[in-house]
Homo-oligomer: A and B are copies of this chain.
Amino acid sequence: MKFTINQSDLYQAINIVQKAVSRKETLPILSGIYLETNKNKGLHLMANNLELGIEYWIDAEVEDECAIVLPANNLISLVRELPSENIVFNIDMDSFQAGIKCLESEFIIKGFDPEEFPSLPSLETSNFMKINGKILKSMIEKVKFSISNNQTQPALTGTLFEINKESMALVATNTYRLACYKVKNKTNLENKHSFIIPGETISNLNSLLTGDEDLEMIFNKNYAKFKFNDIILISRLIEGQFPNYEQVIPDKYNTSIIADKIKLNNSAKRASLIANVVNLNIVDESLIIESTESESGHAHEKVDIKIDGPEQNINIDANYLLDVIKVMDEEEINIKLIDSINPLAVKIKNGNEDYTYLIMPVRPNS
């Protein structure tokens, strides 16, 4: 029961699937990586924490077909420390042990019965669409920081995917802010589909995407599956109702300003050191940022802006503004306002893409 594989290939493969390894200690086998060899297809790796599963295939020289589950921590740390040479695995399928040999290093790692490893769902009778990896990665990066980590509202701990024949939208909110990214994207889907993908899946998917791939996305009522670059990622969906985000996004604003992104960032960051909640005063081609009440002192910052519309005055959490500035590619930032009690919006609109990021105002006495 023997196979040979190059150290750096194996290390790369383990690093991909380990994102789905369970960090909980309740079911020890789920903290392992499933390895299976096939004479034609090489080595198949899989991890599955029951929320998220990742599969990957790599080339290997397979002498006999076999399978084993090895503890991910031990396997990762050992393979990382081995020299960049061929590694020979000798699997004992009676005792579930792997002999690992590389130059003068010989190891035995105790594992688990591969028969007991849960297989990934097959997603029959599912919907199917293609997505460009660069667009998906950009959408994820501009919405994922708005995902809530409040476990009492499970639907908000994920990202809403809303897809129809003509367009796709990703939405995330913690109710104090909301990010919505819509793109025009022709699909073969006849009806409108909505589902919520967990925040952890979104982060892992984002870190696996290079931006150069074309993805297939397959989904049904319970699961979504992404196929790209020899990787298969399957995630359970979050049950529950996502808030009606379209109702929250204003369709008209009174004032629009343009500010230099870096200057706005630096001023907002300094003001936030004194108090999280800052007052934005838009007056005379200037944005004045001042700290609201604080025990530690007072901040007063001035940023030159272009302004179109009436003067404005609003209190917001400066960190929510800093978060969106971090993911903007543009040199200038466009902020739109209605008044002091309606959400402030950061907008990007190019061609087929429409991004809206809302920050709810902080009422003076709240």
Mark A residues whose CB is within 8 Å of B. Answer: 71, 74, 77-78, 81-83, 97, 104-110, 266-267, 269-270, 273-274, 295-303
Contacts and interface: CB of A to CB of B under 8 A. Distances in A.
Given A71-B296, A296-B71, A297-B97, A78 B108 contact: no
A105 B267 contact: yes
When all copies of this chain in the complex are counted, the total is 2
B274 A107 contact: yes
B110 A74 contact: no
A38 B97 CA distance: 73
A81 B297 contact: no
Nearest to A302: B104
Contacts of A267: 104-105
Contacts of A298: 107-108
Contacts of A105: 267, 270, 299-301
Nearest to A300: B106
Contact of A270 (B82, B108, B273): B82
Contacts of A297: 74, 97, 107-110
15 contacts: A74-B297, A77-B273, A78-B273, A81-B269, A82-B270, A104-B301, A104-B303, A105-B299, A106-B299, A107-B297, A107-B300, A108-B297, A108-B298, A109-B297, A110-B295
State the 4 A-B residue pairs at the shortest beta-carbon distance, nearest first.
A108-B298, A109-B297, A106-B300, A104-B302
Nearest to A102: B270
